[in-house]
């Protein structure tokens, strides 16, 4: 059995899609379906059972799911604007610790979702080498909660027995329930559909023009291919970036959306909320040397190719779900 925590969420349901593609359906999904349409991510998927996340740790401690082959832990609060630090500490840090310890004691493959938010503004680079991890300064509590798990794994040497993946700017099908945390690709598509233009934040740093802020955008299908690779290469452990290694501007993103919709480019620049100005990342780009050095040679989808697939095969399709 493979357990996927957060299995009804964005990356989690895409992982289940990838497992199903490989002919695997002995899957236990752990999640919380309250108050949104997250359940729709599961309609096209095949799995054995579903349990609420509040029951998971107790049942796990009782070996209720034996035998377990792997746990892919994607179940966490992913909101970068969440301000309840106690909630994030318990949900994102302690919960992850407990599952990791369980897996390590029983030699179960454990793959954890970390985040590029751990890098903060990137003043200490975007390297996933262990020596720099101690110097990172996340800009929000979400990033800090993810950083705490990675630091715990490093300090205890648990990192030698697990995988923690720092996802960069992920976008694609099944993100629809994420509300304000949905990708700009998704938001831009509907802006064009409704108004004919795309709104982007103005820049407040002279070295970046409006819309020239840079991000490492990675398509959800590439992310789950990386997870699949780690499932099949169990000798590979450690903390790894999951990004393309290429930074694109918000203007590049907007142009890719217009191109995929066969529309004329029309970008309007708007003021950034004051609450974001001191927490805004102007540049992110994954250092992929460690991932490539481990042997993962997945070819990442370009921003134009990904936008075309996402928009034409999902957002304007009768069934937008994986």
- The structure tokens listed for 221 are 């299908």
φ, ψ of residue 218 in degrees (nearest 5):
-125, 135
- The structure tokens listed for 10 are 């964005």
The position carrying tokens 């103005």 is 202
Helices (H) and strands (E) in the chain, counts: 11, 13
Out of 142, 144, 186, 310, the active site residue is 142
Which stretches does DSSP call E strand in 145-223? 163-167, 169-171, 198-201, 214-215, 217-219
310 is catalytic: no
Out of 40, 53, 137, 178, the active site residue is 178
142 is catalytic: yes
- The structure tokens listed for 298 are 């997945």
d(CA 127, CA 252): 24
d(CA 303, CA 198): 17
Spell out the residues 6+ positions from residue 47 whose beta carbon is closer than 8 angstroms to its own.
7, 16, 25, 27, 28, 29
Q: 248 by DSSP, 3-state: which?
A: strand
Would you name the residues annotated as active-site residues?
142, 178
């Amino acid at each position: 059995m493979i357990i996927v925590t957060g299995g009804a969420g964005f990356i989690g349901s895409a992982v289940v899609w990838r497992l199903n593609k490989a002919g695997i359906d002995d899957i236990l999904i752990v999640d919380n379906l309250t108050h949104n349409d997250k359940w729709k991510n599961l309609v096209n998927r095949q799995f054995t059972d579903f349990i609420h996340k509040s029951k998971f740790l107790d049942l796990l401690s009782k070996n209720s799911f034996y035998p377990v082959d792997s746990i892919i832990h994607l179940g966490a609060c992913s909101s970068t604007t969440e301000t309840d630090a106690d909630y994030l500490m318990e949900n994102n840090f302690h919960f992850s610790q407990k599952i990791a310890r369980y897996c390590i004691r029983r030699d179960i493959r454990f793959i954890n979702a970390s985040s590029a938010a751990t890098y903060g503004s990137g003043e200490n680079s975007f390297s996933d080498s262990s020596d720099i991890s101690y110097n990172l300064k996340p800009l929000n509590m979400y990033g800090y909660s993810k950083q705490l798990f990675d630091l715990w794994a490093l300090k205890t040497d648990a990192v030698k027995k697990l995988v923690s993946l720092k996802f960069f700017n992920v976008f694609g099908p099944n993100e629809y329930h994420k509300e304000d945390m949905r990708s700009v690709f998704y938001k831009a598509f509907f802006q064009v559909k409704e108004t004919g233009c795309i709104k982007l934040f103005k820049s407040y740093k002279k070295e970046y023009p409006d819309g020239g802020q840079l991000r490492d955008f990675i398509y959800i299908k590439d992310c789950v291919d990386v997870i699949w690779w780690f499932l099949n290469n169990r000798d590979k452990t450690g903390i790894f970036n999951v990004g393309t290694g290429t930074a694109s501007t918000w203007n590049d993103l907007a142009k890719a959306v217009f191109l995929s919709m066969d529309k004329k480019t029309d970008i309007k620049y708007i003021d950034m909320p004051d609450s974001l100005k001191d927490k805004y990342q102007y540049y992110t780009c994954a250092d992929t040397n460690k991932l490539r050095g481990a042997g993962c040679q997945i070819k990442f989808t370009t921003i134009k190719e990904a936008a075309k697939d996402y928009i034409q095969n999902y957002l304007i399709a009768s069934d937008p779900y994986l």
